[in-house]
Amino acid sequence: MESIINAQMPEFKVQAFQNGEFKTVSSEDLKGKWALFFFYPADFTFVCPTELVDLAEKYDRLKEMGVEVFSVSTDTHFVHKAWHDASDSIKKIKYAMLADPTGVLSRGFGVMKEDEGVAYRGTFLVNPDGLVKVAEVQDNSIGRNADELLRKVEAAQFVATHSGEVCPAKWKAGSETLKPSIDLVGKL
């Protein structure tokens, strides 16, 4: 299995639902920006709305950090709108909900569950050069935590602007980092 880390994000052009409107989103739109892709199996399900609302609660902070947020499922943009209109939880979402009924994104990021035609729970952070810097995929029965995701975004952005520094386990913005060197070998 080939790693997706530091791979170029796939090219795409898909429909989306955001803030009461349909729009088109493409890989071209994301050049020069940080982008977070948050794949989930399907609208009108159980674990998915808990995750999407958790992420919605971090959306303003992610926007302040210059991160475009996209939830993605294999549902159509029409289904995203219907879910938004039917669910008080989903009405809280302000980020774009990408429609991937053909699976171009799900396959491009390696999260398509072919036997069901849905995506696994996959989270991918793409840097302004279009390279995947964070990738996490898990079984669809396991929900994610937006606080941990926010920490990973902060760490990825920190190391992108601080050459030679790395973020240790449980690192949070403002905490001490490490500068790998021979002096640290065997000392940590």
Radius of gyration of the chain (CA): 17
- Calculate the average pLDDT of the chain: 95
3-class DSSP state for residue 24?
strand
Residue 183 has pLDDT above 80, yes or no: no
Is 48 among the residues known to form the active site?
yes
Write the pLDDT tens digit of every residue in 87-130.
999 999 999 999 999 999 999 999 999 999 999 999 999 999 99
Q: Does domain 13-144 have CATH number 3.40.30.10?
A: yes
Joined together, the tokens standing for residue 131 give 């390279």
Determine the pLDDT at residue 187. Answer: 66
Instruction: Please pick, among 48, 125, 153, 167, the residue that the annotation labels catalytic.
Output: 48
Given this model, what pLDDT does residue 181 score? Answer: 80
Spell out the alpha helix ranges (H) of 67-114: 77-86, 104-108
Q: Is the pLDDT of residue 159 over 80?
A: yes
